[in-house]
Chain A
Amino acid sequence: MPVRRLPEDRGGDLELARLIRSEKEVEGRYEEVWTLVDEDALEQWPAGPGAVVGLPAPRIDGYAKARGEARYTADVRLPGMLHAAVLRSPHARARLTRLDLAAAAAAPGVLAVVGPGEVEGVDGDAPFEGWPVAAVAARTEGEARAALRRATPEWEELEPLLDPDEAVRRGSLVAPSRTYERGDYDRGLAEADAVVEAAYTTQTLNHNPLETHVCVCEWRGDSLDVHVSTQGIWGIRSELAEALGLAPDRVRVLCEYMGGGFGAKEGIGTYLLLAAELARRTGRPVRCALSRREENVVSGNRNATRQHVTAAARADGTLTALGGEFTCSLGWRGWLPPTAGPMQLLYACENVRTAEHGAKLNLPPMAAFRAPGFVEGTWSLECVLDKLAAELGIDPLELRRLNHAETDAMDGRPFSSKQLLECYRRAEPHWRRRDEVRARSDEVWKHGMGLASQIWFGGGGPPSYAWVRLGSDGRANVVTAMQDIGTGTRTAMAQIAAEELGLTLDDVEVQVGDSARGPYATISGGSSTLPSMGPAVRSAAADAARQVLELAAQRFERAEGTLRLDGGRIVCSDGESWSLAEITSLLDDGQILGKGARGPNPAGMRILTFGIQLAEVAVDVGTGEVRVEKVVAIHDVGRVINPLGARSQVEGGIIQALGHTFSEARLDDPRTGVVLTKTLDAYKVPTIADVPEIVCELVDLPDPQLTNLGSKGLGEPPIVPTAAAIANAIRDATGADVTSLPITREEVLRALREAQERERVGALPA
């Protein structure tokens, strides 16, 4: 066995056995976990491209997807499979007074019915629209839905609580309010030469992965097989096992391909419990797929916010105080996202005071959505900071640089790495074009530029495991029970294994998506997949490589230390080399099995991702139309494994942000609390015609403290600063101060009017 010890500065403890405590973070939520240290203390590869890692690689599953061969959960068809449909409350708050389940059970094609109280979370007291009341399984989906109509439910409607401020006043909260203070906030305000206060709002947003939530449950004796479109195979396994009172290894979770999630597919959801129960009752596989309309009501959302923020600085630009009160409309359940996070973390401000409230309302529950909290909090912070810059007469980029945090602004911890100043430096040539951009303005179209900084988590953490098999054909097979949400994780893992084994990408297969056929792997969320899984894959590949070299040393009578793998060959320091097949062909049907684990995070350090985005806009002052012409995104996420996939992540994040900024909003009826924008004509995600030029630059320097790769996650950072950069560009172009998302025509026209009014009043003689 190799020596599996870590140096102390990377969390190792030479006295301790292999089990240690480490910090794990997902979506900004930290927890201490026990983790099995099972990692070779591999040195990181040098910065810059290797033979495979760091070079653009088309996705290894690209053809399966493009040819329509990839089998998504929505495509799973099992013999004898039945279809479930869920009866849901059409009201935001209501009590079921009548339900004819017998009629539903007697409907054509129906094989089983689950009624109120028969599955946890399924009953007749509906606290939000879409609350599940009953379900049926039938031969076809059409028959299942028709059967539900026969149940003719009747409801007593109750007054829903919909206003978040009212909820906070009444103490209707999902979680206790959170307050934070450092320094002396009031003194900070008193010391300031300029103080800017402003109110901002953000809207409720729906994830809208194109594959809706879907599962197929099949019992095999006492064990349950679950095909499910999920971001977290292992979370489904443990949650479902607990809910059903099964040993976790009796639940097998499969997800070969999934059609997006963006945070909505992290937990089990009642639909899955209902499908499992209907499958148990019928003894047949049961499929349950949410319709698009169900998806846009019950599957989670980015919560709306109301924010009041204050920024204060001395004349030289030093921030003296930052304050904010953030009210989140969380719906009936959920958790309080770190909306104050950017205010607490982004700048070196000594005096910060924040309060966050999570209103509990009769609305569908929130769920994590791509950088939850930080998207909303960055919007207000980076907008108010620009107003402050204007007040002080300081260049917005300079103001950000002046207040750069050298260490963690909350507790003084060093950063594992931080290249934000480098991002700012790279932003300069783009920012210098500002006058040129403004000069393009005419009577109708006003041009301008804005920028905003980005901070977010993304370090990942243990535990995560991978295996690498090498067969007699010399091909490597990476096995890990993770899922690929669409970010290209499969491809990145193949690149890492190929790099370590000296193989080409074509020599590597990656098998994911089956909890019974691979070791534990982390969730696809919180920008944690690559920084969690990548090091485990490298460590497994290194273990396999070591075994190959051990065999080669014996076979070719060389000292083990003189051999390495390179370009598909075993290379000796004496100059001789042999093809890898010369060793692997000796295996016959035998296999070399390397195993690896994600090591702990560096102790006592803060691991974050950083960046800046610049937006160029044109605003039609007559109609309030805003055209984003260009977005420049410069991010620091440590080492980049696949520049091709990374660029796609950046572009995708920005495009989703453009939807958040301009056209997307879940609208609820203010009287009844019913969601009105359930369909994709009313809930408007961006089309290809809405996309600006996007320039993507990644600093691409490995984080020297973080794992054997030095890579952080990139799924979320690009969505964080876009809206604020655009709002700042609109102000730059027109003087109009947009304060609510989405930035609709009416919001732009309102802000333009307000700006004109300001100018008129300002022009009056004193």
Chain B
Amino acid sequence: MELFRPSSLAEAASALGDGGRALAGGTELVPLLRDGLVKAERLVELRRVIPSGVEGTAIGAGTTLAELEANEEIPDVLREASRLAASPQLRNMGTIGGNLLQATRCWYWRLHFPCRLHGGDICHAREGQHREHAIFANDYCASAHPSDLAAALLALDATVETSRAAYPLAGLYRVPDEHDRNVVDLRPDEVITRIHYERPERSVYLKAMDRRRWAFALVGVAAARVGDETRIALAGAAPIPWRLDSPDALAEATPLPGTAFKLELARTLVERALARLG
């Protein structure tokens, strides 16, 4: 394995196009490499070539979660999602760009069970231990997307700017199916550079977890109000960050026996989040 340190974004994109793997904070990639869940001959270090820091409503993809947590200018929902994510050291290392691209915590996937995301033909979680799994879009794969920040940014109607284009954050994700088992729609040579969000009047992030700190969301509820519009998104609820068109959309959930409680959590937290928005 080699480490490549490109001097420009174009150089980075080209190296990634040639099969390199993007390395930023390393909190996700390094363990995945060790576990053989990601294979790479060449690591492309992005730190020097992607922007970091917050300017107005633009966030450099290289901004760490700790920097966001400390930033008083960003909306509450994003700041709180950053504050309650992972552990202090992981927040010091991990970037927002990497956070959006993190893989599921599904233990079956992490332990190499031949599940659908690994190209197999069953979802082991559906029949097995799945209390931390999905309540939406879980028919093919019941994994839950762990990103608190993605839910916050969905509620903020964020746009992702990449080395290639700019599009709504929702467009970054896709529910895996038999034709394409990826949850992220990003070209191999495409690098997230910035995230733009819309400034809300009020916003809030509520997170239910098994510990008070340093745990992935059982359910995370992000909500933001812009003008007349209220937007809600969920973390830990579907294989991808999940936009909820309205509170009533919770009725469409398809919880598994072991995730029925998550729907209850979501109902309560959505109600409370909306109450907080006023």
Contact = CB atoms under 8 A, between A and B. Distances in A.
Chains A and B share a contact (CB less than 8 Å): yes
A623 B208 contact: yes
Contact of B127 (A662, A667, A671, A684): A671
Q: Which among A677, A744, A745, A750 has the greatest number of chain B C-beta atoms within 10 A?
A: A745
A676 B124 CA distance: 11
Interface in B197-228: 208, 210-216, 218
26 contacts: A623-B268, A624-B264, A625-B208, A663-B210, A668-B129, A669-B128, A669-B129, A671-B127, A674-B111, A674-B113, A676-B108, A676-B111, A682-B107, A684-B210, A684-B211, A686-B211, A687-B213, A689-B211, A689-B212, A689-B214, A690-B213, A744-B261, A745-B208, A745-B265, A746-B258, A750-B261
A670 interface: yes
Nearest to A670: B128
Interface of B: 105, 107-108, 110-111, 113, 124, 127-129, 131, 208, 210-216, 218, 258, 260-261, 264-265, 268-269, 272
Contact of B131 (A662, A671, A746): A746
B173 to A, nearest CB: 22
B156 to A, nearest CB: 24
Contact of B129 (A667, A679, A746): A667
A32 interface: no
Interface residues of A, number: 28
Contact of A689 (B208, B213, B269, B272): B213
A interface, by DSSP: helix, strand, loop or mixed? loop
B269 A623 contact: yes
A749 interface: yes
Nearest to B146: A681
Given A624-B265, A671-B127, A682-B107, 12 more contacts: A623-B208, A624-B264, A662-B210, A663-B215, A669-B128, A669-B129, A670-B127, A687-B211, A689-B211, A690-B213, A744-B210, A745-B265
A682 B210 CA distance: 10
Nearest to B86: A681
A183 B130 CA distance: 46
A493 B261 CA distance: 51
A745 B218 contact: yes
A567 interface: no
B93 to A, nearest CB: 15
A681 B261 CA distance: 21
A741 B213 CA distance: 20
A108 interface: no
Interface in A604-625: 622-625
B180 to A, nearest CB: 26
A78 B56 CA distance: 56
A676 B107 contact: yes
A749 B128 contact: no
Contacts of A623: 208, 265, 268-269
B275 to A, nearest CB: 11
Contacts of A679: 110
A667 B216 CA distance: 17
Contacts of B272: 622
B111 A678 contact: yes
A624 B128 contact: no
Nearest to A625: B208
Residue from B113, B218, B261, B269 whose CB has the most chain A CB atoms within 10 Å: B261
A593 B234 CA distance: 70
Nearest to A659: B211
B214 to A, nearest CB: 5
A749 B111 CA distance: 30
A652 B72 CA distance: 37
B108 to A, nearest CB: 7
A369 to B, nearest CB: 20
Contacts of A670: 127-129
B208 A676 contact: no
Contacts of B214: 687, 689
A469 to B, nearest CB: 45
A690 B211 contact: yes
